Amino acid sequence: MSKTRIVKTTCSICGPCCEVDAYVEDGKLAGVEGARNTPAQSGGLCAKGAAALQYVYNKERILYPMRRAGEKGEGKFERISWDEAYEMIAENLLRIRESYGARSTVFYAGYPKWFRPALLRMANAYGSPNFCTESSTCFQAAALAWRSIYGNGICGPDMPNVKTLMLWSSNLYHSNTPMSGMYKSLKKRGIKVIDVDPRHTVTAHDADLHLQLIPGTDGALALSMAQVIIEEDLYDKKFVEQYVYGFEEYKDYVQDFTPEKAEKITGVPKDMIRLAARTYAGEGPAGIMFSASPVVHHMNGVQNYRAVFSLIAITGNYDVKGGNRQCPAPSCPVNEFGKVRRYDQEEAIGQKEFPAWFDLSCDEAQCIRLADYILEEEAYQIKAVFAMGLNHRMWPQPQRLNEALGKLDFYVNVELFMSESSKMADLVLPACTSYEREEVHALRGGRFFFSNQAIRPLGESKNDIEIIMGVMKKMGLKDEVLLQGYDSYMEYILKPAGITLEELKSHPEGMQGKNLIPPAEKTYETQPFHTPSGKVELKSLVLEKYKASHGYEGLPVYHDYRTETSIDREEYPLILNTGSRKPQFFHARLYRMPWLAGIEKEPLAEIHPEDGKRYGIADGSPVRLITPAGEAEGIAAYDIAGQPGIVYIYHGSSKGDANELIGKDYLDPISGFPGFKGYFCRIEAVKEEGGQYDKV
Ligand SMILES: Nc1nc2c(c(=O)[nH]1)N[C@H]1C(S)=C(S)[C@@H](COP(=O)(O)OP(=O)(O)OC[C@H]3O[C@@H](n4cnc5c(=O)[nH]c(N)nc54)[C@H](O)[C@@H]3O)O[C@H]1N2
Ligand SMILES: Nc1nc2c(c(=O)[nH]1)N[C@H]1C(S)=C(S)[C@@H](COP(=O)(O)OP(=O)(O)OC[C@H]3O[C@@H](n4cnc5c(=O)[nH]c(N)nc54)[C@H](O)[C@@H]3O)O[C@H]1N2
Ligand code: SF4
Ligand SMILES: [Mo]
């Protein structure tokens, strides 16, 4: 009988990296369980993590380096050796740099994050300013909004010490399962929770106050709360006087946003706005938990989040115990590893159109217009893409991007699966999952964990960082760490924490870093804010710099996408909100897992029963969504969690991709983020032809 081993490792199917006890039999993964006996976890896994075997042993896994053998996009490939693959990359990327300049090559990372610092170093060593990631639609716009006010460090809520928590668009039961235990514990501690969400989610159900606003009206709601806080003298005058720039103009601007007016814009009753403002300002310390995406997936997204983040400053909840507070440092030496200034003399993708992104974001380009750069010679043409986890379904008008990728001189995708985006590549390289690699994890609060290799990499797959090392070596690119091998890399990132790799390996339960700088409080008393004025900028001087050229405004102004649009609202009367997270899906990558895909076989368009009746669409029947940019089909699901007038649909499915519906130029002018959560559509019943759809 074969012996079962339990290996301490991690799941990183969706990124947060949950610790896992993997059951291994005869070198094969036989089962997974949430790790027991770790301080970080209670032994559970989410639905996605529990289906790990279908991820690791998926029939679409790429097992060998594969070179295109047919036409681009045809999907015909032939197996080659790793050495031939590295040779092919080196030859092409060196030729393209020679002929068109380094900036003609884009280095791109999709959602997976663990190898990004190494990829950034590769882009730097090659000399291209075009390192970019999925953050062209995620998180960076929220970071930009934050930095435009506070200058640096993004501060999350100080959960152990908050008295009031305002969740501003986060449905963590679905999007961040590992955090849900913490959220539940708030109730036991008597913490007041205010949830701002257009839908009555499970998370909203557990809150004390749910502000059910119309999507994209967040700015008006926050400005109105500020109006109440200032009018009722609930603001922190001392902090404002000493540390805030632009308060008088901000104060004048918010005057207009009375709860009466805001109720008309947002749909939130005026009394609830007042109550929320009084609770947040009066029952502190209070923290705001914000999300990487929904608020900034709107045309006025950056300004809307600026209005929200301004509330932290005016109530004196910035960098105090129980407020929004700086994280302990060094929170993640892995990030430091990638912090080599990119080659920024040359214009990067998006730099002309979205200049504030480059002033206020981290070291990456804004690649939302990647297809335009390939197809239309924007400022210059992109000729090659070296991608790790590129999924064209992330972008609006995904087919257009995929076609553009097919026109490149050279395109490599390093992937787990032979995805549709991979089929367009000249070369596809097999990455391995977290179960097949060793990895050092730097976790919150300065905890480190060594994730063991539970099984050997499938086929000839390799971990992404080893692939980067192989490519760099073949190209003759210099890097003091990456050319020393993977163990050296792990040693290097552990060094600041005062731990050796040997030590960490001998502590399967993980270790606390040794040289951690404890969380500070009120850092502003000793250091100025990293803004042009040295203060908290309610009126951003960086944004204002682009007033004449780009029309940006310094104050967190509110523009309503529903009225300030050239789209004919009579033709497209409904708001289209795409991509609110579902526990079983993760963008485009999990539709290939039978357990998970089986939960929702066709894309569900969630509509309010009133809209269903108005447009003659029965619950469970086929429906067509039509926007100015495209059409997609799905199954109508009556849902009373949202309000009439709004259609919700998940993205990433090849059966009915919500992103085919979104216009490619429908972008927030400051961040370049698409208005994924505030576009317009109409819906109509689809005539069934011989049972085209499975019943859901
Ligand atoms: N299961 C699963 N988990 C995920 C992901 C996944 O695909 N699947 N994706 C990961 C990624 S990339 C991200 S960025 C995070 C996102 O994490 P979250 O932001 O927590 O998740 P969402 O469901 O996108 O949005 C949260 C809530 O915002 C609401 N919302 C929609 N539009 C608006 C709006 O205009 N204003 C406000 N205030 N609220 C709005 C939605 O109703 C939803 O309940 O999730 C991560 N976790
Ligand atoms: N309409 C609409 N569109 C959206 C959103 C929305 O809410 N609505 N959300 C946006 C947001 S917030 C985000 S973050 C993006 C996410 O968009 P993507 O980054 O496109 O997300 P994924 O589908 O997870 O694709 C990443 C790819 O990486 C591969 N992969 C996974 N692990 C590894 C690994 O270890 N190594 C390598 N090399 N590859 C790996 C996966 O197989 C997958 O094909 O989508 C954005 N697009
Ligand atoms: S939340 Fe689920 S899918 Fe994501 S890492 Fe944890 S167990 Fe895996
Ligand atoms: Mo995201």
CA of 443 to the centre of ligand 3 (A): 15
Residue 376 has pLDDT above 90, yes or no: no
Higher pLDDT, 614 or 37: 614
437 CB within 6 A, ligand 2: no
Q: Which atom of ligand 3 lies closest to the CA of 20?
A: 7
Q: Identify the CATH class of 66-134+332-435+462-480.
A: alpha beta
By percentage, how much of the chain surpasses pLDDT 70? 95
Pairing relationship of beta strands 447-451 and 511-512 according to DSSP bridges: antiparallel
pLDDT digits (tens, 9 = 90+) for 421-480: 999 999 999 999 999 999 999 887 788 999 999 999 999 999 999 999 999 999 999 998
583 CB within 6 A, ligand 1: yes
417 CB within 6 A, ligand 2: yes
CA of 580 to the centre of ligand 1 (A): 5
Residue 543 has pLDDT above 60, yes or no: yes
Q: How confident is the model at residue 220 (pLDDT cuts 50, 70, 90)?
A: very high
Q: Quick one: pLDDT at residue 689?
A: 62
Task: Report residue 386 as tokens.
Answer: 């070296």
Task: Report residue 118 as tokens.
Answer: 């190494």
Residue 342 has pLDDT above 60, yes or no: no
Name the residue of 394, 399, 412 whose CB sits within 8 Å of the most ligand 2 atoms, as the mutation to test its pocket.
394
Q: Quick one: pLDDT at residue 149?
A: 98
Neighbours of 527 (CB within 10 A): 11
| 423/433 Cα distance (integer angstroms) | 20
How high is the mean pLDDT of the chain?
Answer: 92
Residue 367 has pLDDT above 60, yes or no: yes
pLDDT digits (tens, 9 = 90+) for 668-682: 999 999 999 999 999
Q: Which residue ranges does the chain devote to CATH 2.40.40.20? A: 574-694
Task: Report residue 236 as tokens.
Answer: 């922190």
Q: Which atom of ligand 3 lies closest to the CA of 17?
A: 5
CATH architecture of 154-314: 3-Layer(aba) Sandwich (3.40)
Name the residue of 111, 174, 436, 679 whose CB sits within 8 Å of the most ligand 2 atoms, as the mutation to test its pocket.
111
Q: Quick one: pLDDT at residue 183?
A: 87
What is the tally of helices (H) and strands (E) in the chain? 26, 27
Q: How confident is the model at residue 41 (pLDDT cuts 50, 70, 90)?
A: low
| 413/464 Cα distance (integer angstroms) | 11
pLDDT digits (tens, 9 = 90+) for 287-337: 999 999 999 999 999 999 999 999 999 999 999 999 999 765 544 445 555
Q: Quick one: pLDDT at residue 347?
A: 84
217 CB within 6 A, ligand 1: no
216 CB within 6 A, ligand 1: yes
Residues 349, 106 contacting (CB under 8 angstroms): yes
Q: Quick one: pLDDT at residue 180?
A: 83
Q: Quick one: pLDDT at residue 407?
A: 96
Q: Quick one: pLDDT at residue 497?
A: 86
Q: Quick one: pLDDT at residue 446?
A: 81
3-class secondary structure, 45: coil
CA of 52 to the centre of ligand 1 (A): 23
Select from 373, 378, 376, 349 the least CA-distant residue to 361. 349
pLDDT digits (tens, 9 = 90+) for 492-533: 888 888 899 999 999 988 998 887 777 778 989 999 999 999
Q: Quick one: pLDDT at residue 153?
A: 78
Q: Quick one: pLDDT at residue 693?
A: 46
Task: Report residue 54 as tokens.
Answer: 């279908």
Select from 516, 521, 523, 541 the least CA-distant residue to 531. 541
Residues 391, 364 contacting (CB under 8 angstroms): no
What's the distance, Cα to Cα, between the start and end of the chain in Å? 42
CATH architecture of 574-694: Beta Barrel (2.40)
45 CB within 6 A, ligand 3: yes
pLDDT mean over 563-582: 97
CA of 45 to the centre of ligand 3 (A): 6
CA of 600 to the centre of ligand 1 (A): 18
218 CB within 6 A, ligand 1: yes
CA of 657 to the centre of ligand 2 (A): 14
Q: Which residue ranges does the chain devote to CATH 3.40.50.740? A: 66-134+332-435+462-480
pLDDT digits (tens, 9 = 90+) for 58-101: 999 999 999 999 999 999 999 999 999 999 999 999 999 999 99
197 CB within 6 A, ligand 1: yes
651 CB within 6 A, ligand 2: yes
442 CB within 6 A, ligand 1: no
